[in-house]
Amino acid sequence: MSVGEKITHVLNGTIESVKNVIPIPIVVGKPSLFKEPLLKSEIGVLIGMIGSIRGSLVIKSRAKTFCGIGEEMFGMHLDGEMLQSFTGELGNMLAGNLCTILAGKGIDIDITPPTVVMDGSIMHNSDLAFRVGVDIIGKGEIGIVLMLEN
């Protein structure tokens, strides 16, 4: 399988994972190359990927958006440490679902534990990065950045 095919499977798998995990209608933006050296976010989660594909998956947004997703999924308002914990677990659920989707296509990856970033920046020096905006209807937008290494 070519690198381009793997990238396509990872991008499509990530979008499929969002649809599988988040029980809210979504509108997916068009993937684009991400060339900025810094990812800035009010709150986000970074998950490393190793195996057939190496890199990181970052899911970032505003706290209000993650709170809205959490309320929809669990029926309660989340803030503070509960919101941070939920954000990490949401990232873990999305990345774990992505692993399952990719395994079905013959691409084996493992993921690292999630790292939650609050009011900060994530520096990246990956060889190739893609960004996809996902509008979570009625809750806000999340940005998904896939950073790949050779």
HEC string for 36-82: CCEEEEEEEEEEEEEECCEEEEEEEECHHHHHHHHHHHHCCCCCHHH
Residue-wise pLDDT tens digits, 98-120? 999 999 999 999 999 999 988 76
Q: What is the mean pLDDT of residues 120-138?
A: 82
Burial class (CB in 10 A: 0-12, 13-18, 19+), 123: exposed
Domain parsing of the chain, residue ranges: 3-149
Residue-wise pLDDT tens digits, 41-99? 789 999 999 998 899 999 999 999 999 999 999 999 998 999 999 999 999 999 999 99
- Please tell me the number of Cα atoms within 13 Å of 40 on its side-chain side: 1
Q: What is the CATH number of domain 3-149?
A: 3.40.1550.10
Given this model, what pLDDT does residue 6 score?
83
Who has greater pLDDT, 65 or 36? Answer: 65
pTM of the model: 0.88
CA 55 to chain centre: 12
Given this model, what pLDDT does residue 39 score?
67
Q: What is the mean pLDDT of residues 11-36?
A: 92
Q: What is the mean pLDDT of the chain?
A: 90
